[in-house]
Structure 1
Amino acid sequence: MGPQLPPGIRLDHGRSSSTTPNKKGRSLVATRPFPAGSHIATFSSPLLALPDGATMRTTCNYCLRVGASSSSATSSSSQQQQGQQGQQGQQAQQLKACTGCKAVVYCDATCQRAHWRGVHKAECAMFARVRKSVGKDWLPTPVRAVAQVMLRLRAGDKEVREAFESGSGLEGNVEAFRKEEEVWADFELQASAAVVYAGLLQGDEVLAKAREVLCKIQTNAFNRLDEDTGMAGIYLDAGLAMVNHSCVPNAFIGFDKRTAILRAERDIREGEEITISYIDNTLPRSARHEALRLYHFQCDCARCKNDLDCYEVCQESPALSLNSFSLQPNLGKLRNPPIDRSKVSKQQVEAIYKTWQSLPKPEGDDEKDHLKVGRARWELCKPLVEAGMWAVEPLPTTILNVALRWQTSYKMVVYALPLLCFLATECEPFKLVAPFMPWRIKGIMSIVKLLAVTGEFTASGSLATRCTHEGLVGTLALADQVSMCEALLRLAVHHGSTGASEDREVLQQARSMLDDVESLQGREKESTLLRAWAMDPEDPEASAFFEKEVLSPIRKLASLAPEILEAMLGNKSLTKK
C-alpha cells in the first residue's frame, strides 16, 4: 500500500533508476505520454507546507500566499525580506495574526480555520513556550516541521501515521545520517527542541522518534522555493516524495502557494520513469555529488557517468528545438557552441568552482566589499571567459550576482541591462534548455523591467548623464524599447502559460504589462507584427520585424556585457568610445 497518486502516474515498487542503479527502488512512472511543458500531476494536500521561520510573519501560514504582516512586531529579518520585495511587498495583502499565539499570520478567516483544523490547534500553545524560552515569535523551519509531525502523531492523524510510522512509509536513512557526526549532532539538537517546545514528554523513545521524523523530512521534503518572491520553506507530500532524482531530469516541480505542480521538461513516453533534479544540476560533478550527499545515494545518470557539462547536455537535449521561439533561436549555435575546450579542462573547472565557493561572501550592503568579492570571483573565472564557456558554473552566477547588485544601484542600474541580456542569450539557453523553465521566464521579466527604467531615462534625456559607455547609450537611444518589451512579454506569456500555473504571479504580471503596452496609442502596426510573430515565428514579415527591432538590439546589448564586466571588475574606466 503506497500513497494516493493523481491520474497520469503510478508507483513502481521495483524499478531501477539513476538514483538506485544496482537495487530495486520505488519510482513514479508515466501512465500516458506527456509533451514537453505539459502538466503531469498536481499535489495539493501536503503533509507539511510551511514557510521559513523568519518569514512566518509575512506569509500566510496555511495557503503560503506572500503578504504583509499587520503586526508592528514584525521581526527585523522579515522587514528585510519585505524590503527586498520592493514595490510588490508594498502592495501585498495585509495578513492577520492568530489571536491565540499571535505568532502566525493568515490571509483571512478561511485560511485560519483550515490551518487550525489541520495542525495549528495543536501547535498554537507551542509558540507561547517559544516566546517564554527564547523571546522569539518563530522557530527554525526544521524544528517547527518536526513538532507539527509529532503533535499530529500524538493526535492519531492517519495520513501522518502512514507516512511516518508504517513500514511502507517514507524512507528515513536514519543509520546513514547517524554516521554523519556533525549532521547527527544538529539533528539531535533540533529534535530535542521540537519535543520540548511541543510540550511532549522527553523520554528516550519520544526523542528517538523525533530524530527519525527529522531524518524522513530531510530525505523526502522539498525546499518550497518560489522563483518570483524568493520565499522558501518546507513542502512534503508522500506521493511526490516517490519521484527519483536525475541530473538530466525529464520533469520539474513548480510551487504555487500550497500546491506543487509536476511538469514535463521534455517529452515523456508512456511507461517511462519520471525524474526531477533535487539540486542545481548545472554545477560541476563533484559539487553535485556533494549536494546529494545527505540523500545517501550515488547518482549514476548519464551526466554524472560521462561527466557532461551543460554544453554537452544541451547538444543532446530533446527540448533544444523549442528555442526556435526564444531569445536564442539560433539552434545551430546551441548544437555547436562557439567554445574552446582546449583553454580549460573539466578538472580545472572543478578546481575553479571549489575555490570560488571558498571565497568570502560580501557582508551587508558595503559597496566596496561587494565590488572586492565580485572582482575576486571574476578573476577566478578568467579561464572560462577565455574559453568562451560562459554557461559553465561558476561564471553565470558570478555575472548574475553582479547584475542583481547593479539592478538596485542608482549609479549602475543601466549597466545591469547588458548583463541580463547576456545571461538570457549566452548562458541560460545552454544551462536550462527548455525555454519555459521558470528561471528563464524570470530572466525575461527582469529585462522587461530594466527596459522600462532605461526607456524613461531615454525619454527624459538623462540616459547619457547616467551612463558613460557610448555604445550602450547609442544602442538604447536607437532601439524601439517598447517593441522590445512587447516581444519579451509575449515570450513570457507564451512560455509561462506552458511551464507554470495560470495563477503564477510572474505570468499574471506579464499579462498585465502586455495589456498596458498593447493599449498604447500609435503602435498598431508594431503590435500587429509582434502578434503575428507570436502566432507564427516563421511569418516572413513578422519575423523580420522581430529580428531587426528586438533580437538585434538584445544581441547588441549582450555583446557589450563582457567588456563592461572586464572594465568594472578589472578596475578600469567604463567609458567606451
Structure 2
Amino acid sequence: MSKTCNVEVKDSTISGAGRGLFACGDFQPGDLVLAVDRPLFAELDIHRLQDTCAWCFQRAATDPIERAQAASMGLPNGFIEVKACTGCRRISYCSKSCQSKAWKREHKYECKALAPKDRPDLPDAVRSTIKLLGRMKADDGKYDKLATILSFRPFEGGKGVEEFGHRNRKLLEDFNMFGFAAWKYAGEPKMREADSQAVSKAFVLNIMCNKFALSSPLDDTHLGIGFDPMICSANHSCDPNVVLVFNQPVALLRATRPIKKGEEVFMKYIDVTNPFSVRQNELQDTYYFSCQCPKCKKGSSFPVDTFTIPPEELSSEYRTLADKLAQKHEAQLSRFFVPASDETAQQRLAALQAEAFSVSGTVTDVKNPTPEEIKATLKMCIKSGLWKWTRQPVPQLCRQLFSLYIANGDPYRAFRLGCKIYFEITPGLYPQAFYPDRLIDTWAMSTVVNVLCGPRNKQIYDELMQGGVDLRIVYFGFLFDVHDNAPKMFGLDSPFGRVVDNTYKQIMAGVNIHESEIRDKIKAVWPSLEIIARSVDVLSL
C-alpha cells in the first residue's frame, strides 16, 4: 500500500529547517497525501510492551472488566490476545504472522539484548537503535534507507552536532550516553564503512528530535513512537495542511485543506490548538527547536491566545487567587507568558494559565486528576471570565472529564458533557468533520448513547423521549456521522474503520425502515439535542 509518488523531498521553505516534503499534485481536504505500510521503525512505550503487539500495534485488553466491555462493543482489544516472545519475554505479538515479520526485519537483533531478567526496560530510542544497528550490520553498513536517518537535522551528516551541543550541551551528553548504551547492548557491531559507535549516537540524536507519536484511534491510547524518512521529512507548522493518521501499522498523511502542486506539506508535532507560549515550550521540550512558522512569527495574536476579557477587568477574587498561584507556579510562569498592559497583569494571567494547564496534563503538576479537581479548574477558567469554551486547556479538561465519567460508569453525565463538546467545542477547534479528534469523540458519544438506550437507563431514556429527544435516533446520528466521515481520514479498511463499518452494517441489518427515513429523523431531532448541549452546566454535572 505504500504510496510515496504524490510527494517529493527538497529543501524546506522554512529557514534552518533542512529537509521538507512537497506535493507533486493538487490535493483536496481528506485526500491521501502519503501512505507507508509501516514506519521504518515503530517502538512501543514501556508500559505497552506487555499488552500490545510490537509489530502491528494492536492492543489487547488484559483487565477482565475492560476486556468484557470491549468485546460487548465489538472492539478488537476485546478479542485480541498477545503472547510474549519466548526468547526475551519482553516483547509481545498478537499472532505468529506478526512475530515472524518482526523477527525477520528487526527483533532478532534485539532479542538477546532484552533477555537478561535483571536488565531494566530500555528506553524506546535505545531499543530502536539496537535494531537499526543490527539491520545495518547485516547489510554491511550500506542500508541506504537507514543511513537516510543520519541526513536529518540536527545530526545532518555530522554538520549539526556542534550547533546542537552549543544549545543543548547536557541533552547531547544524555543522548550520547543512550547511543553508547545501544551500541554496547548491540554487541559493539563492526561495520566496514562506518564507525558503528558514532552511528549509534547519531541515530539516538535524530530519533529523539524527529520521532512522531503513535496512538490508537479506537480508544485514543498513546502507544509509542515512530520514525519514517518520508513522513519525518514533513516539517512542523502550527498551521498545518496535513494530519498524521496511524492505522496500526499503516501510517498516513491526509490533507486537511487544499494543497497545490509544489506547495510544502506541513504536519503538526504537538497540539496546535494551545496558546503560542505553550506551543513554543512544548516544541522546545520535545523536539528541541523554536517554531518559526508564519503563525508563530505573529506571536500571541490568534484566537487560541485571546482571553474574553482584558486582565484589568479581572475580579478581586481572581486577582487574589492569581497572586497566590504566582507563588505556586513561580518557576513555570515564563512558559505561560501572555501579553498584557503591565507586568502585574502578565504575571496574573500566566499564573492562572499555569494552574489550568497543570491539571490538564500539559505540565505534570497534577497526575490523574479527579473529576472534582478538573471541575474546580474549569470553574476557575470560566468563572474568572477569561476563558471561552474553545480556548485551551478548557477543551482538554472537558475531554478528560468526559473520559472519567465513562470510566466511572456514569453515562448520563458523559452524554450531557459529550453533547457540549460535540456542538460547542470541537467544531471551533477542528472545522473539518472528518478530523481525527472529532471522529474519535463522536465514536465515543455513539457508545455512550448506545449504553443509555439499554434497560439499565430506562428512566433517563424515557425522560429524554418526553422532551422530544429519541436516543435511538441520536445513536444513529452519531454512528452515521462517523461512518460518513471515516473514509476521508482513517478509511473503512483500517482497524478503526472496520469496527465502525461492521457496527453500521449490523445495526442497519436490524432495522426495517430505509436509511433516508432515519436521516430525516436525525435532522428533526438534532436541534433539540443542540439545545441540550447549550443548556449544559458543566460545573454542576
Q: Could you state the TM-score of these two structures normalised by the residue count of structure 1?
A: 0.75
What CA distance in whole angstroms lies between the structure 1 residues aligned with 2:150 and 2:464? 66
Matched-pair contact (CA < 8 Å) for 2:216–2:222: yes
Structure-2 residue corresponding to 1:71: none
Call closer, same or farther: CA 1:303–1:224 in 2, change over 3 Å.
Answer: same
Structure-2 residue corresponding to 1:573: none
Q: What's the offset of the Cα at 1:216?
A: 0.6
Matched-pair contact (CA < 8 Å) for 2:28–2:257: yes
Structure-1 residue corresponding to 2:439: 441
What CA distance in whole angstroms lies between the structure 1 residues aligned with 2:276 and 2:466? 40
What's the RMSD between the two structures over aligned residues? 3.4
What CA distance in whole angstroms lies between the structure 2 residues aligned with 1:438 and 1:167? 28
Structure-1 residue corresponding to 2:7: 9
Structure 1 residues 48-447: aligned runs within 5 Å: 48-67=41-60, 86-87=70-71, 88=75, 91-129=78-116, 131-134=117-120, 138-155=121-138, 156=140, 158-159=143-144, 161-165=146-150, 171=156, 173-178=160-165, 179-184=167-172, 186-200=174-188, 208-229=198-219, 230-293=221-284, 294-307=286-299, 311=303, 340=308, 342=310, 351-358=351-358, 370-382=370-382, 386=385, 389-410=388-409, 412-447=410-445
Partner amino acid for 1:132? D
What CA distance in whole angstroms lies between the structure 2 residues aligned with 1:407 and 1:57? 24
What CA distance in whole angstroms lies between the structure 2 residues aligned with 1:175 and 1:80? 52
Structure-1 residue corresponding to 2:528: 553
Matched-pair contact (CA < 8 Å) for 1:126–1:198: yes
Partner amino acid for 2:491? S
What CA distance in whole angstroms lies between the structure 2 residues aligned with 1:487 and 1:79? 31
What CA distance in whole angstroms lies between the structure 1 residues aligned with 2:482 and 2:293? 31
Q: What's the offset of the Cα at 1:500?
A: 1.6
Matched-pair contact (CA < 8 Å) for 2:276–2:299: yes
Partner amino acid for 1:400? R
Q: What's the offset of the Cα at 1:269?
A: 0.9
Structure-2 residue corresponding to 1:316: none
Call closer, same or farther: CA 1:57–1:159 in 2, change over 3 Å.
Answer: farther
| 2:216 match: secondary structure | coil
- Provide structure 2 residue ranges, at least 5 long, that are not aligned to the other structure: 315-337, 341-345
Q: What's the offset of the Cα at 1:268?
A: 0.7
Matched-pair contact (CA < 8 Å) for 2:155–2:161: no
Matched-pair contact (CA < 8 Å) for 2:88–2:114: yes
Partner amino acid for 1:163? T
Matched-pair contact (CA < 8 Å) for 1:163–1:169: no
Taking only the aligned residue pairs, the percentage that are identical comes to 22
What CA distance in whole angstroms lies between the structure 2 residues aligned with 1:391 and 1:494? 25
Q: Which moved more, 1:84-93 or 1:272-281?
A: 84-93
What CA distance in whole angstroms lies between the structure 2 residues aligned with 1:389 and 1:481? 29
Call closer, same or farther: CA 1:47–1:528 in 2, change over 3 Å.
Answer: closer
What CA distance in whole angstroms lies between the structure 1 residues aligned with 2:506 and 2:300? 44
- Provide structure 1 residue ranges, at least 5 long, that are not aligned to the other structure: 69-77, 314-336, 465-472, 532-541, 569-577
Partner amino acid for 2:357? Q
| 1:232 match: secondary structure | strand
Q: What's the offset of the Cα at 1:260?
A: 1.1
Partner amino acid for 1:460? K
Call closer, same or farther: CA 1:462–1:429 in 2, change over 3 Å.
Answer: closer
What CA distance in whole angstroms lies between the structure 2 residues aligned with 1:164 and 1:240? 12
| 1:415 match: secondary structure | helix
Q: What's the offset of the Cα at 1:273?
A: 0.9
What CA distance in whole angstroms lies between the structure 2 residues aligned with 1:449 and 1:481? 12
Deviations 1:114-146 (A, max 9, x none): 2122111221111223x2334xxx433222112
Deviations 1:142-161 (A, max 9, x none): 22112222333333351355
Structure-2 residue corresponding to 1:566: 539
Q: What's the offset of the Cα at 1:438?
A: 0.8
What CA distance in whole angstroms lies between the structure 2 residues aligned with 1:370 and 1:167? 42
Q: Which moved more, 1:109-118 or 1:443-452?
A: 109-118
| 1:420 match: secondary structure | helix
Q: What's the offset of the Cα at 1:191?
A: 3.0
What CA distance in whole angstroms lies between the structure 2 residues aligned with 1:25 and 1:237? 16
Q: Could you state the TM-score of these two structures normalised by the residue count of structure 2?
A: 0.80
Matched-pair contact (CA < 8 Å) for 2:420–2:533: yes
What CA distance in whole angstroms lies between the structure 1 residues aligned with 2:251 and 2:130? 23
Call closer, same or farther: CA 1:362–1:26 in 2, change over 3 Å.
Answer: closer
Q: What's the offset of the Cα at 1:164?
A: 4.2
Deviations 1:154-189 (A, max 9, x none): 333513552245699974853455343553454344
Structure 1 residues 509-524: aligned runs within 5 Å: 509-521=499-511, 524=513
Tell whether 2:38 aligns with 1:42: no
Call closer, same or farther: CA 1:79–1:443 in 2, change over 3 Å.
Answer: same
Paired residues in the alignment total 490
| 1:133 match: secondary structure | coil
Structure-2 residue corresponding to 1:323: none
What CA distance in whole angstroms lies between the structure 2 residues aligned with 1:498 and 1:387? 36
Q: What's the offset of the Cα at 1:341?
A: 5.1
What CA distance in whole angstroms lies between the structure 2 residues aligned with 1:381 and 1:475? 34
